[in-house]
């Protein structure tokens, strides 16, 4: 039975179609513990203990530093992860005095002095696992390493029959850079809170510690500002290609901030200005120099919009927006954009930025902006985000010499929305194609000529959303490149080795499959193999009152089945089971209407699920999976999904076992 807990690969060209079946590898119970050196990002030092392993017993506890609620929170996080896949109780308690003798201990004393504010020391003996750090962030990062050392099945949402064994030895680890970020563009397409939280969970596994949220652009404004309420209600009412758009209430934004903090991730909010502002200009006519509000915009062009830099109301507007956002944001940075301001003259741009930057610092925050903000005066603690495709930029080097720091996001290396190759169904290619090796093979500390390594604050992997609408889309573009960029941000350059990295990266595949991460199976990576899950494409099944089509994006295989609007229309698959018994089938579907399209599920002619709901998914290229519990016979079986109303069934992509 497959161990996928949410959903599986969508539209991955590198998988094999054979006789209507798409087969992908999924981990089976491991017979040997992962090596300490298998972790991503690569640790600073690894000292294996030959012949030593620790196996988590059913009575194990998690012990945390006494008196530390922050350490206890990390312990609770770890215990919750372990409980669902092991079935063990895993109580969390204060660590007893003295040297740990059993279970897993998370302690804030005794770590090697080199670990600093975010690092950790991990010791594994036959009797116990001990993670030591100076802060809760360090403990959390140590937990992510332990998580990768455990069998991949630890990610499963149901109890697995696995020996929970960890290799013995010691890891001492700490980050190369203080800033290790990812960016999610919620303006071109809006992503709900649940999607942002899911991405945060994935970022945490690879020790990312900043999530930059692009909250405004020409196509949409995504955060409530009480003093300018139409920004969200009108400016947030659409997105690229049309559609409802959306926005975060202040409570929702605060929820994201708190959830991120529980994963040791800091939110960096961005309000792009003075360009990329059509959503604001459409919401308030007075922000335009001619006093006329333009129409809302759903295209993808850039550089045509600007706030009116000569109007006093513009600066009142900016002050209000930044003040309200700063009050919601405990992190140190407010990102003010500043890129592609083609509709603003250099003089207007510098005038504007020279008034706006002090607003940020007066709010107790540091200015962050795209590297074009070098066109304005310096401000204390300013951070420039370099996104160019070249390796020289005199203005950035000059600003760094004056004290600014640089976050490296070269578009031809770090932009996660760039296509992998010419056949990638999502993304753009204006900065080039970025395969995994391209994303990995560059040195942030030596990329820009004449920029001192000490001026580099870190690395960020932006994800622009012109073509992305779902979590599946985000995952497909992020994985496997995000872990490559995470390693550039965390690991010392001395560990950098593509040959070793691609092997470690390939070993992550079964973990992602179990987590339901929809990743791109790059042919550059030797993906780990194990057991298999079998996918039965709907377009190759028996179809009654329906048709195979390929006119909506995101499907697997060669297409999907569009049911006729008729009661009794169905798709029927023939599947084989090695042995009789219970099984979980996954049916992938899309329903672009607001109307439920229920179906009966029949196994070998017997109804096993009556009127099973297939509610709207938002649009016809937004795919979801539905788990169906069945009992199969040994050998051949038939599974039929039959529409029970005159609306017919949803579009069906595949059945997977």
What is the third-level CATH fold of 45-173?
Answer: Chitobiase; domain 2 (3.30.379)
pLDDT the model gives residue 32: 58
pTM: 0.80
pLDDT the model gives residue 535: 78
pLDDT tens digits, one per residue of 197-241: 999 999 999 999 999 999 999 999 999 999 999 999 999 999 999
- Of 585, 581, 583, residue with least CA distance to 634: 581
Q: What token pair was written down for 220?
A: 């949409």
What are the C-alpha distances in Å from 142 to residues 316, 330, 486? 45, 24, 15
Q: What token pair was written down for 562?
A: 């569009």
CA angle centred on 307, ends 306 and 311, rounded to 5°: 140
CATH number of 179-300+329-344+368-515: 3.20.20.80
Least confident of 24-28, 173-177, 196-200, 647-651: 24-28
CA trace torsion 202, 469, 246, 353 (10° rounding): 80
Instruction: Give the residue numbers marked as catalytic.
Output: 340
Determine the Cα–Cα distance for residues 121 and 115; give it in Å rounded to an integer.
7
- Alpha carbon 388 to chain centroid distance? 23
At residue 51, the 3 state secondary structure works out as: strand
Least confident of 3-12, 269-278, 533-542: 3-12
Q: How does residue 534 score in pLDDT terms, banded at 50, 70 and 90?
A: confident
Share of the chain above pLDDT 70, in %: 94
pLDDT the model gives residue 619: 85
Please check the confidence at residue 478 and state whether its pLDDT lies above 90. yes
Q: What token pair was written down for 461?
A: 């992997």
pLDDT tens digits, one per residue of 80-100: 999 999 999 999 999 999 999
Which residues fall within 8 angstroms of residue 492, CB to CB, at 6 or more apart? 44, 176
Which residues fall within 8 angstroms of residue 394, CB to CB, at 6 or more apart? none
Q: How does residue 185 score in pLDDT terms, banded at 50, 70 and 90?
A: very high
Helix 193-205, helix 471-478: angle, nearest 10: 20
Which whole number is the average pLDDT over 109-115?
Answer: 97
Which residues fall within 8 angstroms of residue 451, CB to CB, at 6 or more apart? 393, 396, 397, 400, 406
Please check the confidence at residue 169 and state whether its pLDDT lies above 60. yes
Determine the Cα–Cα distance for residues 619 and 242; give it in Å rounded to an integer.
12
Of how many residues is the chain composed? 657
DSSP for 456-517, written as a single string: EEEEEEEE--SS--SHHHHHHHHTTHHHHHHHHHHS-GGG--HHHHHHHHHTTHHHHHHHT-
Least confident of 457-466, 556-565, 605-614: 556-565
Please check the confidence at residue 18 and state whether its pLDDT lies above 80. no
How many Cβ atoms sit within 10 Å of the Cβ of residue 195?
A: 16
At residue 181, the 3 state secondary structure works out as: strand
Domain-by-domain residue ranges, the chain? 45-173, 179-300+329-344+368-515, 535-656
Higher pLDDT, 581 or 405: 405
Which whole number is the average pLDDT over 628-652?
Answer: 94
pLDDT tens digits, one per residue of 433-450: 999 999 999 999 999 999
User: Is the C-alpha dihedral spanning 346, 352, 353, 354 positive or negative?
Assistant: positive
pLDDT tens digits, one per residue of 342-351: 999 999 999 9
Q: Order of strands across the sheet with 606-612?
A: 542-544, 570-577, 635-643, 599-603, 606-612
pLDDT tens digits, one per residue of 559-574: 899 999 999 999 999 9
Please check the confidence at residue 3 and state whether its pLDDT lies above 50. no
What is the third-level CATH fold of 535-656?
Answer: Jelly Rolls (2.60.120)
- Alpha-helical (H) ranges within 150-208 are 193-205
Share of the chain above pLDDT 90, in %: 86
Please check the confidence at residue 6 and state whether its pLDDT lies above 50. no
Least confident of 9-23, 175-189, 331-345, 517-531: 9-23
Q: How does residue 15 score in pLDDT terms, banded at 50, 70 and 90?
A: very low
Q: How deeply is 428 buried, as exposed, middle or buried, from its count of CB atoms within 10 A (0-12, 13-18, 19+)?
A: middle
Q: How does residue 533 score in pLDDT terms, banded at 50, 70 and 90?
A: low
Please check the confidence at residue 604 and state whether its pLDDT lies above 70. yes
Q: Which of 6-10, 455-459, 554-558, 581-585 has the highest mean pLDDT?
A: 455-459
Q: Are 385 and 370 in contact (CB under 8 A)?
A: yes
Q: How does residue 656 score in pLDDT terms, banded at 50, 70 and 90?
A: confident
pLDDT the model gives residue 70: 98
């Amino acid at each position: 039975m497959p161990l996928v807990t949410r959903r599986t690969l969508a539209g991955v060209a590198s998988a094999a179609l054979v006789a209507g079946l798409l087969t992908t590898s999924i981990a089976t119970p491991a017979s040997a513990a992962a090596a300490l050196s298998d972790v991503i990002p690569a640790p600073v030092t690894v000292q294996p203990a030959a012949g030593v392993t620790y196996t988590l017993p059913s009575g194990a506890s998690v012990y945390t530093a006494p008196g530390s609620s922050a350490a206890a929170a990390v312990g609770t996080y770890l215990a919750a992860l372990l409980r669902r896949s092991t079935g063990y109780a895993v109580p969390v308690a204060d660590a007893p005095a003295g040297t740990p003798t059993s279970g897993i201990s998370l302690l804030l004393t005794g770590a090697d002095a080199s670990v600093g504010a975010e690092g950790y020391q991990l010791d594994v003996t036959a009797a116990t696992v001990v993670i030591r750090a100076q802060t809760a962030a360090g403990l959390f990062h140590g937990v992510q390493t332990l998580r990768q050392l455990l069998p991949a099945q630890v990610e499963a949402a149901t109890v697995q029959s696995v020996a929970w064994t960890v290799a013995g030895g010691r890891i001492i680890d700490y980050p190369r850079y203080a800033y290790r970020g990812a960016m999610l563009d919620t303006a071109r397409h809006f992503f709900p809170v649940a999607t942002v939280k899911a991405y945060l969970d994935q970022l945490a596994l690879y020790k990312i510690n900043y999530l930059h949220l692009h909250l405004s652009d020409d196509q949409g404004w995504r955060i409530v500002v009480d003093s300018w309420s139409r920004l969200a209600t009108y400016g947030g009412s659409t997105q690229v290609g049309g559609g409802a758009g959306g926005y975060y209430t202040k409570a929702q934004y605060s929820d994201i901030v708190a959830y991120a903090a529980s994963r040791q991730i800091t939110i960096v909010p961005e309000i792009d200005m003075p360009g990329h502002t059509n959503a604001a200009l459409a919401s308030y006519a007075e922000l335009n120099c001619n006093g006329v509000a333009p129409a809302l915009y759903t295209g993808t062009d850039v550089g045509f919009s600007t706030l009116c830099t000569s109007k006093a109301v513009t600066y009142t507007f900016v002050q209000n927006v930044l003040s309200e956002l700063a009050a919601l944001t405990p992190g140190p940075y407010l990102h003010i954009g500043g890129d592609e301001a083609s509709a603003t003259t250099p003089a207007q741009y510098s005038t504007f930025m020279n008034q706006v930057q002090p607003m940020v610092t007066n709010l107790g925050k540091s200015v962050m902006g795209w590297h074009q903000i070098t066109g304005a005066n310096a401000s204390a603690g300013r951070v420039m985000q370099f996104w160019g495709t070249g390796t020289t930029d005199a203005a950035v080097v000059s600003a760094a010499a004056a004290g600014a720091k640089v976050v490296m996001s070269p578009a031809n290396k770090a932009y996660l929305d760039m296509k992998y190759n010419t056949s990638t169904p999502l993304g753009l290619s204006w900065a080039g194609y970025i395969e995994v090796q391209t994303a990995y093979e560059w040195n942030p500390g030596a990329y820009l000529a004449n920029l001192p390594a000490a001026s580099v604050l870190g690395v960020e992997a932006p994800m622009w959303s012109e073509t992305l609408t779902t979590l599946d889309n985000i995952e497909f573009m992020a994985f496997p490149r995000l872990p490559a960029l995470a390693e550039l941000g965390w690991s010392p350059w001395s560990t950098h080795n593509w040959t070793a990295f691609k092997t470690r990266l390939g070993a992550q595949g079964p973990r992602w499959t179990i987590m339901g991460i929809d990743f791109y199976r790059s042919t550059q990576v030797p993906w780990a193999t194990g057991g298999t899950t079998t996918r039965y494409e709907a377009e190759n099944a028996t179809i009654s009152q329906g048709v195979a089509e390929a006119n909506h994006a995101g499907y697997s295989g060669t297409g999907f089945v569009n049911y006729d609007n008729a009661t009794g229309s169905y798709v029927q698959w023939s599947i084989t089971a090695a042995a009789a018994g219970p099984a979980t089938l996954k049916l992938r579907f899309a329903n672009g209407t607001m109307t439920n399209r229920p179906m009966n599920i029949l196994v070998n002619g017997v109804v096993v699920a009556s009127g099973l709901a297939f509610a709207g998914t938002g649009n016809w290229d937004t795919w979801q999976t539905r788990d169906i519990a069945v009992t199969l016979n040994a050998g051949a079986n038939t599974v039929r999904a039959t529409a029970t109303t005159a609306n017919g069934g949803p579009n069906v992509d595949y059945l997977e076992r």
